Amino acid sequence: MTAPILRATDANGEIYDDPSEDALFMFMEDLESPGAALLVERVEVGRQGEAVRVTLQKDAAYRFEGPETHEGSLRAVHEALTRWAFDLPEWQEPLTRPSGDDDASV
């Protein structure tokens, strides 16, 4: 069995190793009250300490806090989180698109 490279801690404090793209989306959907947060951390050797926190805001937007901080829709923040988690290039691009362009896929 290989060591995990990612670890997600959901709003209830449950810990999941190597969450899938779908699992990250479900964890974000489960953020029910403002301030509730999802933490995704890199745990692979040499990358410990790299992390992103997604928090539900009072206005139903999602706040992405990591290498950069942005707010956006569920879809935009999920896409950026997925890109960041899986080391895809230009991970922040979904958060810098004009509003209404959330339909682009990963």
| Residue 2: Cβ within 10 Å count | 6
pLDDT band at 101 (very low <50, low <70, confident <90, very high): low
pLDDT band at 47 (very low <50, low <70, confident <90, very high): confident
pLDDT at 65 over 50: yes
In 3D space, the residue among 69, 72, 89 whose CA is nearest the CA of residue 28 turns out to be: 72
Q: Which residue, chain included where needed, has tokens 């810098």?
A: 96
pLDDT of residue 64: 96
pLDDT of residue 106: 41
* % of the chain exceeding 90 in pLDDT: 71
pLDDT at 1 over 70: no
Which residues pair with residue 16 across a beta bridge?
8
